[in-house]
Amino acid sequence: MATVSQPAESPLVLEGVTLTQVTSTVAGVVERRTPRAWWFAFAFTGSLTLVLLAMLTYLVTTGIGVWGNNSPVGWAFDITNFVFWIGIGHAGTLISAILYLFRQRWRTSINRFAEAMTLFAVACAAIFPAFHVGRPWRAYWLFPIPNEWSGMWPNFRSPLIWDVFAVSTYGTVSFLFWYLGLIPDLATMRDRAQTHARRVIYGLLSLGWRGSARHWNHYEMAYLLLAGLSTPLVLSVHSIVSFDFAVSLLPGWHATIFPPYFVAGAIFSGFAMVVTLMVIARWFFGLHHLVTMKHLENMNKVMLATGLIVGYAYAVEFFIAWYSGNPFERFAFVNRALGPYSWAYWTMVACNVLAPQLFWFRRFRTSVPVMFVVSLLVNVGMWFERFVIIVTSLHRDFLPAAWGMFRPTWVDLLTLAGSFGLFLTLFLLFVRFLPMISMSEVKAMMASREGA
Amino acid sequence: MSQSTERIGGIYGVAAEFEDAEELLAAVRALRERGYRKLDVLSPFPVHGLAEALGIRRSPLGWAALVAGVTGASAAFLLQWWTGAVSYPLVVGGKPFFAVEPSVPVAFELAVLLASFAAVLGMLALNGLPRFHHPVFAHPRYPAVTDDRFVLVVENDGERFDAVQASEALRATGGEHIQVLEAE
């Protein structure tokens, strides 16, 4: 039996693990009886999902006014949540596509997990603009399909419509990438199935995959192509999301730094979410020999690096506001740091700039409790970053007569909480029914190291 | 040594199990040296060097993706020009009805979207998937192929194929669980 010899340092798969142990560990999670704790978690997140459904139903039946959005703060929690969730997704694509192209083999144990996170995050994100349009039953007007106003088309000169294309392409391609990666593993699930129902379901989903060398040849090319296509795609998505702001003329939004700043922030928040969820899943399902400290440490390093980029962007925004000599621009930033929402601004700085500095030290980088707390803080901080950008820029723009304040309503807060419920519910279903680590890729990595 | 002729048509090939990749690669090379050209390997992961040993050519999927990508970008430019400048010309913020620069994001997204579909659907089409029945599924060791084993198939090339000879060739290279697979 193929065993893996002891690697030099910080192993990606612990020594002595055989190929078939990879299969039984990963597939075993799905095949075992549902753990009791899973049901408790599912009951909780499922209830939160119901809260989301209730809030959206209330919104649709009553009107958009149940949210705290007003004039001048026409974008508030909805767009904050949208940008937040889209950003979370970016780590998944970064891990699955960019690290693949760079031949970073440590991605192998975590890419499936992170890709699933991408999909669920995009699903949560899509809810907010769809309901923010006010009449979600007409959300299809966003797409260039003929509607009841014959001859009326979307305005392609608006970044908001670019966003529709970017996000829907991103969601679709992420699904294709994820599913492509799943096919060989679904075949494994089919071949291990003990019940007829499982054999039929996994059999259908695996599309009859049989692992032929000719198939692998096309498969690997398709995988490489998708990685190559997803790489510019993921960079484009948050760039285009940032255009929603940067293309406007509002002080605080109208900045050329936005695309790289948003992309770095997206990767930052996404990695934080992967760490949060992976730490839990690794402990709960006993995946320590496949998701090693090396993986977690690498993710923490990415968080440190992107956190520094984000901190740099905060500083540059202030510098440019001062250097521009534009009084409105200067005011927008002074107001951000010292105005009525300064608590949100400093929460953001503390969580995003200060907290990750702990990761300079190996001791903290490799401590599960520390990384768990820091990843949670970064998640909070990145949500506040979007809140700060959106709300502080809108609430005091040019004429003081047109200023206002935004306060979230209970519907705003429960909708946000509910979106976490949906995200986590989808995640629980994923870890229950699908192999959360790519078995075929881990095995290929082990085999290639052995041969080397 | 020879099989009765009526059975040869009903045979898909002869398959044997191998335990590790090195042994498998050696077997593939040995069989090709003996003149077996129609070989296939079933494996739990893509084996490095196997495609070359089997004489499999580079997948043409890249071309499919390129054509789809160019189609997507062209369609997007056409769509934005026609809807904005021909079908529904509306002045918004004094911007021109159509310009290349603001049309780039949508063109890029549609290029990526179509190229990705071409890569995935092209992969399935070239591989003849979905296909839920296949003669190799009858091999007694097949289920292990998606776990940690390899199965080498000497396929019936319809010419001078001799199942007994093929079985012996497989045995000589170290294959186990040698089995004749019936065609469907």
3-state class of B42 per DSSP? strand
Is the alpha carbon torsion for A422, A424, A425, A430 positive or negative? positive
Q: Which two tokens stand for residue B86?
A: 């021909």
Per-residue pLDDT at A10 exceeds 80: no
Q: If phi over 0 gives left and psi between -120 and 50 gives alpha, with beta otherwise, what is residue A42? A: alpha
Instruction: Please compute the mean of the pLDDT values over residues A119-146 and round it to a whole number.
Output: 89
Q: Tens digits of per-residue pLDDT, A316-356?
A: 999 999 999 999 999 999 999 999 999 999 999 999 999 99
Compare CB distances from B109 to A166, A214, A226 and report the shortest one's residue. Answer: A166
Instruction: Please compute the mean of the pLDDT values over residues A139-154 and round it to a whole number.
Output: 82
Q: Tens digits of per-residue pLDDT, A62-97?
A: 988 999 999 899 999 999 999 999 999 888 888 888
Is the alpha carbon torsion for A241, A242, A243, A248 positive or negative? positive
In angstroms, the CA B126 to CA B117 distance is: 14
Most confident of A290-294, A329-333, B11-15: A329-333
pLDDT at B7: 52
Domain ranges of chain B: 3-56+134-182, 61-126
Contact residues on chain B for A152, CB-CB shorter than 8 A = 88
**How far is residue A80 CA from its own chain's centroid?**
14
Instruction: Please compute the mean of the pLDDT values over residues A368-396 and round it to a whole number.
Output: 93
Binary contact (A221, B145; C-beta < 8 A): no
Contact residues on chain B for A219, CB-CB shorter than 8 A = 46, 123, 127
Top residue of A212, A241, A244 to mutate, by most chain B CBs within 10 Å, is: A212
Question: Cα angle at A74 between A249 and A313, to 5 degrees?
Answer: 50
Per-residue pLDDT at A4 exceeds 80: no
Contact (CB, 8 A) for A108 and A12: yes
Cβ-based contacts under 8 A for chains A and B = 208
pLDDT at A449: 67
Contact (CB, 8 A) for A222 and B119: yes
Compare CB distances from B146 to A151, A188, A216 and report the shortest one's residue. Answer: A188
If you average pLDDT over every residue of chain A, what do you get? 88
Instruction: Please compute the mean of the pLDDT values over residues A107-124 and round it to a whole number.
Output: 88
Binary contact (B127, A212; C-beta < 8 A): yes
Q: Tens digits of per-residue pLDDT, A246-260?
A: 998 899 899 899 999
Q: Which two tokens stand for residue A406?
A: 């935004």
Provide the residue count of chain B: 184
Q: How far is B94 from chain A (nearest CA, A)?
A: 11
In angstroms, the CA B88 to CA B81 distance is: 10
User: In chain B, positions 29-88, which contact chain A (CB-CB < 8 Å)?
Assistant: 40-48, 50-51, 54, 56, 58-59, 61-62, 65, 69, 79-80, 83-84, 87-88
3-state class of B11 per DSSP? strand
pLDDT at A243: 92
Compare CB distances from B44 to A204, A229, A440 and report the shortest one's residue. Answer: A440
- In Å, what is the CA distance from A83 to each residue of A66, A76, A122, B38? 21, 11, 10, 53
In angstroms, the CA A225 to CA B172 distance is: 39
ipTM of the complex: 0.90
Which residues on neighbouring strands pair with residue B42, listed in sequence order?
A: A212, B151
Contact residues on chain A for B79, CB-CB shorter than 8 A = 144, 156
Q: How far is B165 from chain A (nearest CA, A)?
A: 23
What percent of chain B stands above pLDDT 70? 95
Compare CB distances from B40 to A161, A190, A214 and report the shortest one's residue. Answer: A214
Residues 6+ apart with CB under 8 A from A104: none
Residues 6+ apart with CB under 8 A from B6: none
Contact (CB, 8 A) for A96 and A107: yes
Compare CB distances from B148 to A19, A156, A161 and report the shortest one's residue. Answer: A19
What percent of chain B stands above pLDDT 90? 30
Q: Tens digits of per-residue pLDDT, A254-288?
A: 989 999 999 999 999 999 998 998 898 888 887 78
Per-residue exposure over B57-94, b if at least 16 CB sit within 10 Å of its own CB, e if not: eebebbebbeebbeebbeebbebbbebbeeebeeeeee
Contact residues on chain B for A175, CB-CB shorter than 8 A = none
The answer to whether residue B159 neighbours chain A at the CB level (below 8 Å) is no
Of A24-38, A184-198, A388-402, where does mean pLDDT reach its minimum?
A24-38
Compare CB distances from B146 to A155, A187, A222 and report the shortest one's residue. Answer: A187
Per-residue pLDDT at A11 exceeds 70: no
Burial class (CB in 10 A: 0-12, 13-18, 19+), A150: exposed
Contact (CB, 8 A) for B115 and B65: yes
Q: Which two tokens stand for residue A39?
A: 């049901």
Binary contact (A157, B92; C-beta < 8 A): yes
Burial class (CB in 10 A: 0-12, 13-18, 19+), B112: buried
pLDDT tier for residue A9 given thresholds of 50, 70 and 90: very low
Element (H, E) at A159: helix A159-192
Nearest residue on chain A to B151, alpha-carbon basis: A212
In angstroms, the CA A52 to CA A55 distance is: 5
pLDDT at A111: 85
Element (H, E) at B155: strand B150-155
pLDDT at B150: 87
pLDDT at A452: 42
Binary contact (A222, B61; C-beta < 8 A): yes
3-state class of B177 per DSSP? strand
Compare CB distances from B83 to A156, A179, A211 and report the shortest one's residue. Answer: A156
Per-residue pLDDT at B6 exceeds 50: no
User: In chain B, positions 93-122, which contact chain A (CB-CB < 8 Å)?
Assistant: 93, 95, 102-103, 105-106, 108-110, 112-113, 115-117, 119-120, 122
Nearest residue on chain A to B115, alpha-carbon basis: A229
